[in-house]
């Protein structure tokens, strides 16, 4: 940061302590959640005049819709070069210590506050096979755990809190046991929830059972109404029901 002309900081007090520690004396300006759009325009104007600017955020990596994300997007849209030096990444830290499968995962951040959008995301997670990572504040944790249990059933979950800090903790349990535990214990600290993905075998079984509720004629119509030939429809129906095409043909005679 010694080489830049200006430092835009989410919290100038925190950044000033860091600069003082390393003996760096640079001009500071406040750039945060509540001025991220108007201030970004001011900073971009300075960049266009030839200034170099460092943006310091306090929310780790990634920080959802934080000032750094906003100005990076605006700079790239206008052809201004941007580089990044990531800070602590809570989601990766939690994933690697959670004991959950890490080859395939998705990051949801904080669930939406809008009720309709929140229900939509929870519905999507019902069929999400990848390990899912969520953020949650302590005062919302109990409600979120109950919503996850109601929507997804009793999946495995690891609750990580205060990562990289003195009281760091990772609690592997199930959603049912997590609800019991936090009804008896007060949530403390910022949480990262690492949630087991849906079982592929269970999803396939649920799909097969849903088709079995249909009559064979209704199931055939599902595909013939889409323009498939009767032969193609029989093949799909057989696959859906886990039987041979010959069995479907015999039943339809």
- Half-sphere exposure of residue 172: CA atoms within 13 angstroms, side-chain side: 9
Same domain, 23 and 73: yes
Based on the domain organization, do 94 and 178 belong to the same domain? Answer: yes
Instruction: Output the pLDDT for position 7.
Output: 96
pLDDT of residue 49: 96
Q: Based on the domain organization, do 43 and 102 belong to the same domain?
A: no
Domain extent for 227: 201-252
What pLDDT sits at residue 45?
A: 96
Q: Is residue 82 part of a domain?
A: no
CATH code, domain with 111: 3.30.950.10
Predicted confidence band of residue 1 (pLDDT cuts 50, 70, 90): confident
- 60 and 113 fall within a common domain: no
pLDDT value at residue 63: 57
Examine the domain organization and report whether 61 and 10 are in the same domain.
yes
- For 109, which DSSP code? E
pLDDT tens profile 207-248: 777 777 788 888 888 889 999 998 898 898 888 888 888 888
* Contact status, residue 194 vs residue 95, Cβ threshold 8 Å: yes
Mean pLDDT over each residue of the chain, to the nearest integer = 91
Q: For the chain, what is the domain count?
A: 3
The CATH number linked to 65 is 3.40.1010.10
| Of the residues 47, 77, 107, the one at which a domain ends | 77
Same domain? For 95 and 190 the reply is yes
Instruction: Give the residue-averaged pLDDT of 38-56.
Output: 95
Same domain, 156 and 181: yes
Q: Final residue of a domain: which of 31, 50, 77? A: 77
Q: Does the N-terminal peptide bond of residue 211 adopt cis geometry, omega within 30 degrees of 0?
A: no
In percent, the amount of the chain with pLDDT more than 70 equals 98
CA distance 173 to 179: 10
Percent of all residues in the chain with a pLDDT value above 90, rounded to a whole number: 66
For residues 156 and 243, state if they share a domain: no
Domain-located, residue 85: no
Nearest to 193 by CA among 182, 184, 185: 182
- Same domain assignment for residues 154 and 178: yes
- Picking from 22, 55, 77, the residue at the C-terminal end of a domain is 77
- Same domain for 172 and 239, yes or no, is no
Is residue 229 assigned to a domain?
yes
Same domain flag for 120 and 180:
yes
> Residue 218: what pLDDT?
84
């Amino acid at each position: 940061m010694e080489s830049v002309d200006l430092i835009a900081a989410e919290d100038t007090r925190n950044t000033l302590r860091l600069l003082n520690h390393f003996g760096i004396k640079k001009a500071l300006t406040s750039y945060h959640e509540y001025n991220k759009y108007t201030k970004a325009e001011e900073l971009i104007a300075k960049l266009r005049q030839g200034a170099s600017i460092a943006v310091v955020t306090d929310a780790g990596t990634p920080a959802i819709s934080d000032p750094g994300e906003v100005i990076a997007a605006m700079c790239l849209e206008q052809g201004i070069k941007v580089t990044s030096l990531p800070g602590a990444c809570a989601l990766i830290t939690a994933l690697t210590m959670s004991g959950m499968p890490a080859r395939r995962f998705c990051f949801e951040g904080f669930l939406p506050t809008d009720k309709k959008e929140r229900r939509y995301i929870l519905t999507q997670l019902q069929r999400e096979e990848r390990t899912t990572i969520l953020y949650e504040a302590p005062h919302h944790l109990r409600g979120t755990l109950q919503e996850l249990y109601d929507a997804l059933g009793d999946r495995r979950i690891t609750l990580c809190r205060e990562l990289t800090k003195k009281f760091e903790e990772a609690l592997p349990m199930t959603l049912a046991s997590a609800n019991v535990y936090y009804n008896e214990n007060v949530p403390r600290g910022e949480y990262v929830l690492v949630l087991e993905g849906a079982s592929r075998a269970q999803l396939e079984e649920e799909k097969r059972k849903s088709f079995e509720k249909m009559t064979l004629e209704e199931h055939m119509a599902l595909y013939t109404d889409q323009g498939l030939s009767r032969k193609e429809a029989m093949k799909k129906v057989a696959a859906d029901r886990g039987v041979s095409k010959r069995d479907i043909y015999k039943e339809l005679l």
